[in-house]
Amino acid sequence: MEIREPVPVSPVPAGSATRFWVRAGLFAALTAVGAFLRVPLPFVPFTLQYFFCALAGFLLGAKGGFASQGIYLALGLAGLPVFTAGGGPAYVFQPSFGYLLGFLAAAPLVGCLARGPLTLLKAYGVALAGVLGVYALGVPWLWGVFNLHLGDPRTVRWAVTYGFLAPLGGDLVLCGLIALGAVRLRRLGVFR
């Protein structure tokens, strides 16, 4: 009986589609985990989803970040309970769904703005720009669902207060943590 040496398996090439989709899937899964790491606030819970959404943009770039959040949304809308309050197509009627749509804008925005050398200050500004993109879609959706779907009239001021100002302090701190993580992971060469 002849014993053969194992054939070495070459790593997946850096630019391959397999690597792209595996990384996007990883960040979709991390975003789902972030949905369950939360601080309860009225109307819009504070979660760590944006932490992973922004890191996807920083580490995977605009296309990979968008793909990761697209996968995350597709899984949730298909019925997997990956969102903070479950999943399924009816989730679009949740007041917080606009923030999830904001992830589709934030991850590629972060990816575009984070190109080139990354300092801590630049990373903080990029993370902040991304979170403002989330709010830009989330706050109007919050207002619209309460006023148009739930029949519970709320003012724009109310939506800005509860949908933007209330969680903003936590997001400013979170942007600092994202910036620290992004700069450190970039220096280590993770996902490059």
Cβ proximity of 145 and 163 under 8 Å: no
Q: What is the pLDDT of residues 16-64, one digit of tens each?
A: 899 999 999 999 999 999 999 987 766 666 789 999 999 999 999 999 9
41: which 2 tokens? Answer: 């606030």
CA dist 6 and 114 (Å) reads 42
Of 42, 59, 38, the residue nearest 162 (C-alpha): 42
Q: Are 67 and 61 in contact (CB under 8 A)?
A: no
CATH code of the domain made up of 20-188? 1.10.1760.20
The mean per-residue pLDDT over the stretch 5-11 comes to 56
Give the confidence band of 12 by pLDDT, cuts at 50, 70, 90: low
Q: Which long-range contacts (CB under 8 A, 24 or more apart) does 61-64 make?
A: 61/111, 61/115, 62/107, 62/108, 62/109, 62/110, 62/111, 62/112, 63/20, 63/108, 63/111, 64/20, 64/23, 64/24, 64/27, 64/111
49-107 pLDDT per residue, tens: 999 999 999 999 999 999 999 999 999 999 999 998 899 999 999 999 999 999 999 99
Residues 123, 114: contact at Cβ < 8 Å?
Answer: yes
Domain ranges, ordered by start, for the chain: 20-188
Residue-wise pLDDT for 114-166, tens only, equals 999 999 999 999 999 999 999 999 999 999 999 999 989 999 999 999 999 99
Rounded to 10 degrees, the C-alpha dihedral 82/88/92/96 comes to -30
